Structure 1
């Protein structure tokens, strides 16, 4: 339960001070009926195999470099990259360096 009508994170990357080697860390920052926000930290070389989400989603790369496959297209993304995906868009990710990203899921 929130004691204020807002949530403020002054520095998202400080919530994962170290990126775990050879693994993926996720922290749910907000679970709301209209928005779920998850912070991810990927060790270099970690990947998410191709999958889809049942709802629209946004990926925001905070730090690092990765390849993001969207359908048949592959993009190398770096700090500051931002992607909106419609529901059921096939996607996969491979972290080239330690990577921090924010995932926003938008229930319809």
Structure 2
């Protein structure tokens, strides 16, 4: 394996099997740390949340499964599978699981 080509997962099911949603919890797993990007998998049970926080680098968050309410800068958006948001560095944001599900978080820079 080289650092210039890494297969993180060949299918979304691989990530779900390795990092399932756990009842009553928020769990995270680092999927990749490479030059300029880190990928994290977040699994949240229904009703769980990530309280308002910031990231030191710009992020994109993609809903893989379930439904989430994403809050930033006084705005709210409901994310369904395939939905993606971008948040600049140091912008406060929060995530609430409307249904059990999984998110793919990309930290850039």
TM-score, normalised on structure 1?
0.89
Q: Can you give the 5+ residue segments of structure 2 that lack an aligned partner in the other structure?
A: none
The Cα of 1:89 is off from its aligned counterpart by 1.2
Q: CA deviation at 1:33?
A: 3.4
The aligned counterpart of 1:14 is 14
d(CA) in 2 for partners of 1:99, 1:38: 14
Q: Deviations over 1:36-94 (max 9, x none)?
A: 10111111111000011111000011111011001200111111001111111110000
5 Å-filtered alignment, 1:88-107, equals: 88-107=90-109
Aligned to 2:70: 68
The size of the alignment, in residue pairs, is 105
Distance (whole Å) between structure 2 residues aligned to residue 89 and residue 78 of structure 1: 22
In structure 1, distance between residues paired with 2:13 and 2:46: 16
Match of 1:79 in 2: 81
Match of 2:43 in 1: 41
The alpha-carbon deviation at position 15 of structure 1 amounts to 2.0
Q: Which runs of 4+ in 1 moved over 4 A?
A: none
- For structure 1, the residue ranges without an aligned partner over 5 or more in a row are none
The 2-side partners of 1:57 and 1:82 are apart by: 10
CA RMSD in angstroms comes to: 1.3
Cα distance in 2 for partners of 1:76, 1:46 equals: 15
